[in-house]
Amino acid sequence: MNKPFKLIVIVLSLLLTSIQMSCDDTDNCEDAICTLVLIRISVSITDQDQNPIALDSYEVINLENGENITVSLPPAEQEQELQRGQYLLIEDDVLGVNQVQQIQFRGFINNQEVISSDYTVSTDCCHVNLVSGNLELTI
């Protein structure tokens, strides 16, 4: 390998390592270097034939304290997601840093709960992550 290529590989490796180290599970987030990407985790709901299901409403509940943590989307974005059967479960900055939370998705049609699913999500200094739960639901 030539020297400039080796230098580039080393610099990129160090950069990626420092970014990975900055988003670890430590309690100190002051020195974290986070990407500016907004992480969103969504639930997809379809019928038995894989057609998207349009719910009348849905909510996301923090099971620890019963708080409704449903993220509001702008009406145009909400309509697009609804047509695709996609529902925002959680996104960055909804929960505090370095947490693990149990949450529940509840979907309603004609004021009747038609679907419910539990999830475990975690946060580090930067982003939310799905720990457990099925993101593809069928009614």
* pLDDT tens for each residue of 36-84: 899 999 999 999 999 999 999 999 999 999 999 999 989 888 888 888 9
What is residue 125's predicted lDDT score, i.e. its pLDDT?
Answer: 93
The more confident residue out of 121 and 75 is 121
The more confident residue out of 108 and 8 is 108
Residue 113 lies in a domain: yes
pLDDT at 104 over 70: yes
Mean pLDDT, rounded, of the chain = 86
> What is each CA distance from 22 to 10, 94, 121, in whole angstroms?
18, 20, 20
Domain count, the chain: 1
d(CA 2, CA 64): 56
pLDDT at 6 over 50: yes
Residue 6 lies in a domain: no
Structural domain for 88, as ranges? 34-138
Residue 67 lies in a domain: yes
Residue 66 lies in a domain: yes
DSSP annotation string for 32-58:
----SPPPEEEEEEE-TTSPBP--SEE
Residue 21 lies in a domain: no
Residue 70 lies in a domain: yes
What is residue 1's predicted lDDT score, i.e. its pLDDT?
Answer: 53
Residue 87 buriedness (CB in 10 A; 0-12 / 13-18 / 19+): buried
Residue 5 lies in a domain: no
Residue 85 lies in a domain: yes
φ/ψ (deg, to 5) at 81: -65, -40
